[in-house]
Amino acid sequence: MIDVHCHLLPEVDDGPRTMEASLQLARRAVEEGVTSIVVTPHAYHPYFETQHHDITKEVAHLQQRLDEEQIPLTLYVGQEIRIFGELIDALESGEAHSLAGSRYVLVELPSQSLPAYTESLFFQLQAAGYVPVIAHPERNREFALHPEKLHHLVSAGALSQVTTSSLTGQFGRQVRELALTFISNGLSHIVASDAHNVEHRDFNWLAARQEVINELGEEMWQQQLRFTEAILADEPIAVNPPHLPEKNWRGRWKW
């Protein structure tokens, strides 16, 4: 499996604090069936000063350590970029990194809101040849209350990525149901771990796989795998038109 959202670098953000912790997390990834990881430390986030890090160099160093330890993982450079107005300039200058050098850009939104300029910025990103990938929309309060806003962005060409731990219920029943709802309605297209450590933010790939297969079917899971492969290959991802989620008579999301 390919993981396109993972905080594996040591001493950069809220991921592993030591190289040994990074290696431990990498070993866990292999146990979960992961073969490739796009390493995505936070960028332009108000709580993490990461801009002084040379991410390309640090990923190469971590890859060297994995090879020395005979941990069979292939690493790629990426970032989880907090949305900001100069995002395109940062990408074009090389100060910000897309996923594995592809057209796909992992964009993090504030957890409680949707900035007013989001639609305009996404349009500009696409006009410049990029595809915005919204990180963990199921954990965004605005999308939970108003899924039509996610529907609008996806209809205009954005993709979104659900977290494995959301599917397994780690963030609560409501987040789990919303994650499954977004996938089944074509509002989320990619599953990734957003793993930070083995203690509290693990990969949970095998459990998430079982959840998707049990609730939505094997083909839906295989689609997630194909889409992550397309990201690494920088190939276009063709998705079906999304549907606006509905609730049943009990007020719970239907999928």
Residue 7 domain flag = yes
Residue pair 103/130 in contact by the 8 Å Cβ criterion: yes
The CA distance from 137 to 143, in Å, is 7
Q: Pull the structure tokens for residue 78.
A: 């990426």
Residue 252 domain flag = no
Residue 254 domain flag = no
- Number of structural domains (the chain) is 1
Question: Taking residues 93-118, what's their average pLDDT?
Answer: 96
Residue 244 domain flag = no
Give yes or no for residue 199 having a pLDDT over 80.
yes
**Positive/negative CA dihedral, 87, 88, 91, 95:** negative
The CA distance from 78 to 33, in Å, is 20
Residue 243 has phi, psi (to 5 degrees) of -115, 150
Give yes or no for residue 254 having a pLDDT over 90.
no
Per-residue pLDDT tens for 17-43? 999 999 999 999 999 999 999 999 999
Query: What CATH number is given to the structural domain containing 79?
Result: 3.20.20.140
What is the predicted pLDDT for the residue at 250? 74
Torsion of CA 190, 172, 253, 163, to 10 degrees: 0
- pLDDT bin (cut points 50, 70, 90) of residue 200 is confident
Q: What is the pTM of this model?
A: 0.95
Residue 239 domain flag = no
Burial class of residue 71, CB neighbours in 10 A (0-12, 13-18, 19+) = middle
Q: What is the DSSP string of 14-38?
A: SS-SSHHHHHHHHHHHHHTT--EEE
- pLDDT bin (cut points 50, 70, 90) of residue 52 is confident
Query: What is the span of the domain harbouring residue 154?
Result: 2-233
Residue 47 domain flag = yes
Question: Taking residues 166-190, what's their average pLDDT?
Answer: 96
Phi-psi region of 68 (alpha: psi -120 to 50; beta: other; left: phi over 0): alpha
Residue 251 domain flag = no
Residue 77 domain flag = yes
- Mean pLDDT, rounded, of the chain: 94
Q: Which residues contact 146 (CB under 8 A, 6 or more apart)?
A: none
